Amino acid sequence: MLDLINVSMTFNPGTPNAKTALSDFSVHLDDGDFVTIIGSNGAGKSTMFNAIAGTFFVDSGSIKLGGQDITYLPEHKRSRIIGRMFQDPLKGTAPSMSIEENLALAYLRSGEGFSPFSHITNRDKQEFREKLSLLGMGLEDRMKQPVGLLSGGQRQALTLLMATMVTPKLLLLDEHTAALDPGTADKVIELTKKIVEENHITCMMITHNMKQALEIGNRTFLMSNGKVVYDVKGEERSKLTVNDLLEKFKVGTGQALDNDRMLLS
């Protein structure tokens, strides 16, 4: 489904600030995999997501999604087959536009060469209402309201709906609940699991919560210094504890995990 093959990326090459973020990096995801990803700051998690999403072109290696080579496909074209959410609730939506207008943009993101608003029918709007009602936040009765007036949790739930309105081949979740209060975060996580499962979406989710990383999805990556130092799934994963993950990190990197945010979670 997804293949990163010998991918390398160095920022500021040839300068004193040169930083190799990914080096000869390779991973494979099967169709329907839901991978949770944990690692300290600078481990390469977001860089990997940026490489997949096309935020930059990698220095070397190749990226294939669903059998298609997307290594040099522009970011805006990848967005038609890749959904993405960020930690910041302010990203992913247009705050001055209404909920309905944001959904219209997401609904027709796979089209080219026309204005999405001229193609939205009353039937489409009814479908928007029905999908919004599934979020359980009353947004279906506020479709004309600017998105900028929504709470952080409401915006993240809306962004999740937008990212999956047209079912993507791959969904990238970059700590998409980290900025929310615990109750709202739990609700967005449950929505995420429901939408991913019902639509059989291949998904990658970065999280700082190690317990969550073992409970959600079917596979976990532990990353450090631009590499996957531990990849686990199946029965082995089901038996792991947070302490086991800490030990795997120590074995894989030669040092103890010292990320307070992850340890406290």
Using alpha carbons, select from 71, 38, 30 the residue that is nearest to residue 52: 71
85 touches 173 (CB < 8 A): yes
Residue range of the domain that includes 103:
88-167
Question: Is 57 within the bounds of a domain?
Answer: no
Question: Is 136 within the bounds of a domain?
Answer: yes
Question: Is 253 within the bounds of a domain?
Answer: no
Question: Is 153 within the bounds of a domain?
Answer: yes
Residue 256 CA to its chain's centroid (Å): 27
> Mean pLDDT, to the nearest integer, of 80-107?
89
Predicted structure pTM score: 0.90
Q: Give yes or no for residue 115 having a pLDDT over 70.
A: no
Question: Is 38 within the bounds of a domain?
Answer: no
Total domains in the chain come to 1
Question: Is 104 within the bounds of a domain?
Answer: yes
Distance CA 124, CA 107 (A): 9
Which segment of 121-135, 142-156, 206-220 scores lowest on mean pLDDT? 121-135
Distance CA 67, CA 69 (A): 7
| Residue 165's pLDDT band (cuts 50, 70, 90) | confident
C-alpha pair distances (Å), 72 with each of 52, 66, 251: 10, 15, 36
Using only C-alpha atoms, the chain has a radius of gyration, in whole angstroms, of 19
According to the model, what pLDDT value does residue 40 have?
85
Distance CA 119, CA 113 (A): 12
